[in-house]
Amino acid sequence: MQLIHVFSIAPFATLFASIIVGLFGKKCPKVFSYALTTLGVGIAFLISIYTLYITSHGFHGEFTLYQWLATGSYNFEIGFMIDNLTALMMVIVTFVSLMVHIYSIGYMKQDSGFSRFFSYISLFTFAMLMLVMSNNFLQLFFGWEGVGLVSYLLIGFWYKKPTAIHANLKAFLVNRVGDIGLLMGVGLILFWFGSLDYQTVFDRSVSLGNQSIFLFGDSAVSLLSVICILLFIGAMGKSAQIPLHVWLPDSMEGPTPISALIHAATMVTAGIFMVSRLSPLFELSDTALSFITIIGASTAILMGIMGVVQNDIKRVIAYSTLSQLGFMTVALGVSAYSVAIFHLMTHAFFKALLFLAAGSVIIGMHHDQDIRHMGNIKKYMPITWITFLLGSLALIGTPFFSGFYSKEMIIEATKYSQIFGSGFAYWMLIFGVFFTALYSTRLYLMVFHGTEKWRTLKLRNTHHGLNSQQSPHESPWVITLPLILLTIPSVIIGYLSIDTILFSDFFTTSIFINDEIHKNFSQINNHFSSPIKTGLHGFLTLPFFFMMLGIIVAWFVNSQMFKSNITPKFVSFISKILEKGYGFDTLNEKYFARWLRVAGNFLWLRIDLNLIDRYLVNGPAYLINRLAFKLKSLQSGYIYHYAFIMIIGLFLLMTFFIKL
Amino acid sequence: MIAPLSLAIWTPILFSIILIGLGGLLPKKLGPNLALLGGFVSFIITIPVLIEFNYISPLFQFQEFHHWILPYRINYHLGVDGFSVPLILLTSFMTMIVIFLTQDTNIKNLNYYHGAFLMMSGLMIGVFSSLDVILYYIFWEAMLIPMFLIIGVWGGPNRIYATIKFFLYTVLGSLLMLVAFIYLFFEAGSFSLIDYYHLPLSLPIQIFLFVAFFMAFAVKIPMWPVHTWLPDAHVEAPTGGSVILAAIMLKLGGYSFLRFALPITPDAVSFLQPALIVISLIAIVYIAIIAMAQKDMKKLIAYSSISHMGFVTLGIFLLTPMSVEGAYVQMISHGFISAALFISIGILYDQTHTREIQNYGGVINKMPLFSALVVFFAMANSGLPGTSGFVGEFMVIMAAAQENFWIALTAAMTLLLGAAYSLWMVKRVFYGEAKSKVVLKLKEINFKQTFVLVSLALLILILGLFPFLITDITNTTAENFIQFMNRSKFPIL
């Protein structure tokens, strides 16, 4: 068996399982659905481990699966590029996917769409693997839209819920806005580079570094800046950066396991992955990098603040995801691609853990997601409690936890960066750390500590939630096992792998950094000695103080709240802005979507039906009809009318000739 | 095999004559079965055209030549190249599907109905394979009659207005085309298309000729602003009529541009290219916005068709190998996707007798399998990669990016708009709770309908994953075509 066949097993095992379960799962017992799909993703996980093993020992290769299409002078192929970046992504994707598969056996147990769910998440794994394994832009786009499709299907999984089917349409359309950018970037690449293969494009990129194009009349703009910004617009859609982030909070309407898999750990990081994969292009455009830095920093801070005012357990974590994606984006902008991937990895573990633990809490609370109804759950759900606590510690960046290393490195890289916007980004990230600690601590305290608030609720939801006599129970082992398995890397993976991933030559074949201009990463490299020293030093840094400040503020506000029994209130003006999510939704729905519908009605009724149809098409018909009606009276059938006309005619003719 | 093209044309027509001639006399079971046999045989008989076709030859193949009306040098001359073959197969295939689906329904005068479809199938294949312009013109005009009858006899309440509009629109354009052919006859001394390809013509003459052709073909595709007959025709047509209209009849326009208008008047096309591109872009964006405002499902899909045809004309007028092939793939792909969507709407309409979107909601609760298929078709309609709907749009957008960034960006708006109108309809019709009376009465599709829809879904998927199946056939023809288009045809002074 050739190597390409080994690699292809990973995606196609999941695709195969997905198709079989999708077709026959409904008629078979549940064990068939989950066993087959879990087996499929398990195989994919083992292959990914093997791939990472051989690539970390120096293997690097490109393979072509088949030729998709050839036209003119262009060839489009489907193929794989296997290197450390691909292999690491494969491992992350399949590991989290495997955990989510196991978890869902318990979480979705009662659901009538059980087999459909497993078919979807396996299909998702397939699309995501095709995306990360691609060796060309076309297949990237395939995977890109493929994961978008599954995300659409899974957000709308409970298709009877009006909010769910609103959210999935919104998610798909907002992503499509980004995809337009991506596709335009690909179009320009095909035109200027003559190929869509990554390697060919990278090889030719240096010679096109100073190429200008004329987009706006006579003013020349740098080709690579245009391409990179267009590609990044695609990443903004998928990785939910401002202003294309609006779909992600609403996507929480989907089942919780997919929030963990798709909307935290894997799909939303596709944009981060893409930019890292294309680092040889992005390195050539400082304009694009500045743009990325500023967008990322704004997302990190603005979405972090939003996390503080949410009361739905999943929405808090969703805004946290947005904010963390902002951190990764800043890392891309300051040319620290490997750090972005490093944070992507640690974040995948601890955020998947947080979502799954939140799901466990939600089951315990009988599908009540409001944190104002929770409290003291640590007593009833000890495993969930401990794993959630460890996940939160990793998220806020407690020294020695995985999240600490990745976040610390991003902030360091930003600090030393010379790129325009990095100064702004540095402070936004520092404040971001504060807000991360604030919302995480608030969430943790409200859910796991304090009084058991569901017992004293005045307004009780009749469909969901516990009544005052019931208590939550710890979830079964299929749910707690993935939590434990995810806790391990959430805590230690940063410590174990920082040396290899960031400061060895792990990524030298995959990621290109233009060291002469972007020196910040090599500067951190010089400062770094060992993970232990970094961890110890972490207690003395500015981010650490901001983190502690966040914890203290959260603790203080929370303890005050118990006394006076009020929710934390900011100045009313700010809280109004935050309630509306800075008004992005209002802008989109009240203005943009409505404007489009008004335009549709106008063009249809006024232009199409009225102008074209009524005047230009039916108009002449109507005129001819009227004319014929008038002319009809000439043919009256009376002989004396005809005789009269004849005589007049003869008379006129004669006068005409006589004149001559 | 001898004369495969003649067989492909005349076999369905023969079956149609039998069905129409004996329509009232045939026993009850026999008629529909005979029609199905006719559809099946007519499809099988076109397969050799695909198998025996030589992919790498730029010449017209399977040529048949017989003198017909000698004094005017009108001949019975047939032949096909890479642009004809896939469309011929699409025609016979879709006709078979339509007959198969309507075989056991209680449409009145079913034998005549099937006869009309078989007749139309033969005539359309005739259009796709004629190399003599008068022969082509006869097929082109004759084809209108069965369609006129299908809408006019078996159509909806407002069918008379729709048929008259459809007929007058098309005939107006066609007459100008006939004038162009007669002019060319006096210049070239024959009605042979191949003679016209090499006929030198000055720019003003070429522009006049092109405008005449344009009137005929633009109405057919249809291009903005001569598109308003299509929504009316679709809404009034029975399901089978809509399927054939969208899947094949619209493609006659695109095909004829490639076969006649462009190679005969290449300089006029490059002269008028900017205007033609702008009209195509208007179709893509303007019509997509209109589609979003539709309240009737069938009208929505009709407008979506026009918007997709905008990609066909854009691709054709961009005049690069990739764009022309993209336009061609888009034609074939749209044949399957629009057919599937019209069949789906027909299935709902047959059960509920309403097409208003607001009367629906939550169909998925009653018809899960059917809804899953429609979601797939809607995704294909919005150009999801992996479906055939993506391939053509991708190729045209890529080709447009080489011409001008802004053209490509405008065309790419379809990514958003196409998804918006398709999926918004899906949301309103299929998702949600089943509340309305009409939806509560719905029943899941039967085996036959499932079979047809699943086959179409598979075809859409196969063409999306392996589009080389089409482009391998058209590659040589397209490259040859572009080379030809780049040569000026001005007379040497």
Please tell me which of the candidates A68, A156, A603 has its beta carbon nearest to residue B468.
A68
- How high is the pLDDT of residue A569? 54
Q: What is the pLDDT of residues B381-435, one digit of tens each?
A: 999 998 999 999 999 999 998 888 899 999 999 988 999 999 999 998 988 888 8
Contact criterion met (CB < 8 Å) for B408 and A600: no
Which pLDDT band holds residue A656 (cuts at 50, 70, 90)?
Answer: confident
The model's pTM:
0.90
Which pLDDT band holds residue A657 (cuts at 50, 70, 90)?
Answer: confident
State the burial class of residue A45 (Cβ atoms within 10 Å of its Cβ: 0-12, 13-18, 19+).
buried
| Spatial distance between the Cα atoms of A483 and A100, rounded to a whole number of angstroms | 10
Nearest to B230 by CA among B313, B130, B163, B146: B163
Least confident range from A13-27, A548-562, B202-216, B320-334: namely: A548-562
- Better-predicted residue by pLDDT, A209 or A186: A186
Q: What is the pLDDT of residues B101-149, one digit of tens each?
A: 888 777 888 888 888 999 999 999 999 999 999 999 999 989 888 888 8
In A, which residues are within 8 Å of B405 by CB distance? 184, 188, 213, 215
ipTM of the complex: 0.89
- How high is the pLDDT of residue B451? 92
- How high is the pLDDT of residue A659? 61
Contact criterion met (CB < 8 Å) for B468 and A67: yes
- How high is the pLDDT of residue A564? 47
Q: What is the pLDDT of residues A525-552, one digit of tens each?
A: 888 888 888 888 888 888 888 888 888 8
Is B479 in CB contact (< 8 Å) with chain A? yes
Nearest to A5 by CA among A39, A36, A51: A51
Does the pLDDT at position B225 exceed 90? no
Does the pLDDT at position B304 exceed 60? yes
Contact criterion met (CB < 8 Å) for A149 and B379: yes
Nearest to A313 by CA among A144, A451, A452, A446: A446
CA distance A72 to chain B (A): 5
Of all residues in chain B, the percent with pLDDT exceeding 70 is 99
Of all residues in chain A, the percent with pLDDT exceeding 70 is 96
- Selected for mutation to probe chain A from B168, B289, B433 (highest A CB count within 10 Å) is B289
- Better-predicted residue by pLDDT, A124 or A630: A124
Does the pLDDT at position A570 exceed 60? no
Contact criterion met (CB < 8 Å) for B364 and A159: yes
Contact criterion met (CB < 8 Å) for A71 and B427: no
CA distance B306 to chain A (A): 13
Q: What is the mean pLDDT of residues B12-38?
A: 84
- How high is the pLDDT of residue B315? 93
In B, which residues are within 8 Å of A601 by CB distance? 293
Nearest CA in chain B to A71: B322
Of all residues in chain B, the percent with pLDDT exceeding 90 is 38
Least confident range from A83-92, A391-400, A591-600, B469-478: namely: A591-600
Which pLDDT band holds residue B278 (cuts at 50, 70, 90)?
Answer: very high
- Only one residue has tokens 């990895």, namely A345
- Only one residue has tokens 């337009």, namely A180
User: pLDDT averaged over chain B?
Assistant: 88
Residues 6+ apart with CB under 8 A from A589: none
Alpha helices, H only, B382-440: 388-403, 405-429, 437-440
Which pLDDT band holds residue A311 (cuts at 50, 70, 90)?
Answer: confident
Which pLDDT band holds residue A573 (cuts at 50, 70, 90)?
Answer: low
Contacting B residues, span 203-232, partner chain A, CB-CB under 8 Å: 225, 228-229
Residues 6+ apart with CB under 8 A from A498: A342, A405, A406, A409, A531, A534
Alpha helices, H only, A194-269: 198-205, 223-238, 247-250, 256-260
Please tell me which of the candidates A172, A190, A612 has its beta carbon nearest to residue B225.
A612
- Only one residue has tokens 């617009």, namely A233
Which pLDDT band holds residue B365 (cuts at 50, 70, 90)?
Answer: confident
| Spatial distance between the Cα atoms of A627 and A298, rounded to a whole number of angstroms | 69
Is B384 in CB contact (< 8 Å) with chain A? yes
Other Cβ atoms closer than 10 A to B361: 20
| Spatial distance between the Cα atoms of B346 and B348, rounded to a whole number of angstroms | 5
Please tell me which of the candidates B384, B412, B419 has its beta carbon nearest to residue A183.
B412
Coil, helix or strand at residue B160: helix
- How high is the pLDDT of residue A567? 52
Is B405 in CB contact (< 8 Å) with chain A? yes
- Do residues B65 and B76 lie in contact, with contact meaning Cβ atoms separated by under 8 Å? yes
Size of interface A-B (CB pairs under 8 A): 136
Please tell me which of the candidates B168, B322, B416 has its beta carbon nearest to residue A74.
B322
Q: Is the peptide bond before B27 cis (omega within 30 degrees of 0)?
A: no
- Better-predicted residue by pLDDT, B491 or A174: A174
H or E element at residue A76: strand A74-82
Least confident range from A348-357, A391-400, A419-428, B479-488: namely: B479-488
- Tokens found for residue B301: 């899909």
Coil, helix or strand at residue B431: coil
Nearest CA in chain A to B299: A604
Does the pLDDT at position B12 exceed 50? yes
Nearest CA in chain A to B291: A600
- Do residues B240 and B101 lie in contact, with contact meaning Cβ atoms separated by under 8 Å? yes
CA dihedral A618, A620, A623, A625 (to 10 degrees): -70
**Chain centroid to CA B416: how far?**
24
State the burial class of residue A167 (Cβ atoms within 10 Å of its Cβ: 0-12, 13-18, 19+).
buried
Contact criterion met (CB < 8 Å) for B432 and A160: yes
H or E element at residue A82: strand A74-82
H or E element at residue A435: helix A422-448
In B, which residues are within 8 Å of A596 by CB distance? 289, 292, 420
Residue B61 sits at φ, ψ, to 5 deg, of -115, 165
Please tell me which of the candidates A169, A176, A180 has its beta carbon nearest to residue B424.
A169
Count of positions (residues) in chain A: 660
Q: What is the mean pLDDT of residues A595-608?
A: 81
| Spatial distance between the Cα atoms of A487 and A496, rounded to a whole number of angstroms | 14
